[in-house]
Structure 1
């Protein structure tokens, strides 16, 4: 009998290298990486950075608008697939036209269009709209002084967007805090992570129509600092004639990403009912108090939660597409 060292290898064993090689090449098995565009679009990071810098300087509300757009895309059941960017068609009403999304600021949509246009010129049919949104959100956060976190890349864009899929999956300021928390915990976030993500209200603004009735309601008025409530009433006096009237969520440092939002809540300086709820609810109050005292802890949890949010139900390989235009499927 020949020794085992001289026996021919079984056919199935000879196929193993090809099997593993084919898995590696198969685009349907693609995985997200930090340097996904290193070879296919080496200018990716610079183009994103140049685009957001130009847009943020000309329109300072862009950062907060983009953070909100990112949240409204990723928190839905279909996850971070840029479906929020798709326009409605004669056959289907898209997510962006659901009632809760009608107030999404146009600056965020415009930013993504600008970045996509620049990337298509540099690297045609290479970079997904969902990767643009994820990377731009992180870069804008750091531009405002927020925490840096690595962004995984290699997402594909979704091929459908339905307004009917939105209801109940996005937080509304009028919801009790327990209901808002449930939206996040059902998506795998802890209460601490939910409170940290709520800290995005340290930048941006809210329309008067979202909160002004609370400043006149006896039960909710008690949550406000009285002087602050009167100031909100004066600022929003003409909101019925001008529905675009709005106020900063953080009156103290409205254009800086910091923990002052959490410091405001115990003082009755929250704008929205949901802001007050974070401090009045005994389950979330300890996290508000911790983040108010410790900005490093807030940044640490916020960064981890944003990265986690950016990975919800992402599509890779053949499961999605790279849209040529972010507002329509190919």
Structure 2
């Protein structure tokens, strides 16, 4: 009887371990919080201090740093490939049209340099991107979440892959769902990560088709609030490729739920923002966050979804490398 009880206990703990293993994808991929605890214990302090040096005086830098992590993860996974420079024989992701408006690469280089001084050859650029994105968000009054680390850097970066993998601003809800599902992300991740548009700006060409020539008949997008259309037209004339506008007017430097309030009022800047109202689940989340007070779940949800995104296609163990400089393979 005692042996039977012992056997049952062993079986139970094995089954429990299997369940935990399946519920924790970061463990399965080799990522974990505190990965550098022994090899570079000060890394997160160094990253935060260096990021704060740039973001605190210029809060508008938070958005491009967050966007850079997203653009990295959606192409070849979170492997730092968006940071690589083009060469004579290859056009890297940086050269792709969706990435030509990215900025903040100098900040990533500064963070990498500071980390290298403390722990040479230990911390990947891919992990630095993930940590900088978290810290940039928290520095503009957004959430703070634990970032599992242990990523290694990829050696391949192709402009063509950025074009085919990054969701465009004119994407429909079905296109968005397909693209996110292809990366292992849920519909909830889609609507939560879209909330990143609460900070940042966008150039006029990303949305002016909604103002001046939506169906090719010199018309406007009927899903866009008419008053908002006039405000945007006053800032973006037809053919303007230089001007930028706030994605969350009035609080584009502060991470909050303003984005969802705008979308609920049909004032989402992109077609991909407006598309969130075309699905029952994403619309329900938009409405929930647009009407919630200080008890909003958005901050917690955002941290969870950022961890989920940070798990996409990571390289660990002997795969990839630890780049000495983020813009160049070793």
TM-score tier (shorter): 0.7 to 0.9
Pair member with larger Rg: 1
TM-fit CA distance, 1:283: 4.8
**2:127 matched to 1:131?**
yes
Equivalent residues of 1:63, 1:141 under 8 A apart = yes
Equivalent residues of 1:239, 1:245 under 8 A apart = no
Equivalent residues of 2:209, 2:220 under 8 A apart = no
Which of 212, 217, 226 aligns to 1:216? It is 212
- The residue that corresponds to 1:109 in the other structure is 105
Deviations 1:268-301 (A, max 9, x none): 2221111112124445211211222346322222
Q: Take 2:206 and 2:141, find their aligned partners in 1: how far apart are those partners?
A: 27
Q: TM-score, normalised by structure 2?
A: 0.85
Aligned residues: 297
4+ aligned runs moved over 6 Å, structure 1? none
Stretches of structure 1 lacking an aligned partner (at least 5 in a row): 1-28
Equivalent residues of 1:30, 1:317 under 8 A apart = no
- The residue that corresponds to 1:26 in the other structure is none
Equivalent residues of 1:72, 1:84 under 8 A apart = yes
- The residue that corresponds to 1:159 in the other structure is 155
Deviations 1:107-137 (A, max 9, x none): x211100101111112111111011000111
Equivalent residues of 2:63, 2:199 under 8 A apart = yes
**SS of 2:136's equivalent?**
helix
**SS of 1:247's equivalent?**
strand
CA RMSD across the alignment: 1.9
Deviations 1:32-54 (A, max 9, x none): 22222222222211211111111
TM-fit CA distance, 1:329: 0.2
- The residue that corresponds to 2:320 in the other structure is 320
- The residue that corresponds to 1:98 in the other structure is 96
- The residue that corresponds to 1:254 in the other structure is 252
Equivalent residues of 2:29, 2:314 under 8 A apart = no
Q: Take 2:239 and 2:77, find their aligned partners in 1: how far apart are those partners?
A: 34
Q: Take 1:33 and 1:282, find their aligned partners in 2: how far apart are those partners?
A: 34
**SS of 2:165's equivalent?**
coil
- The residue that corresponds to 2:64 in the other structure is 65
1:169-248 superposed matches below 5 A? 169-217=165-213, 220-237=220-237, 240=240, 243-248=241-246
Stretches of structure 2 lacking an aligned partner (at least 5 in a row): 1-27
Equivalent residues of 1:199, 1:261 under 8 A apart = yes
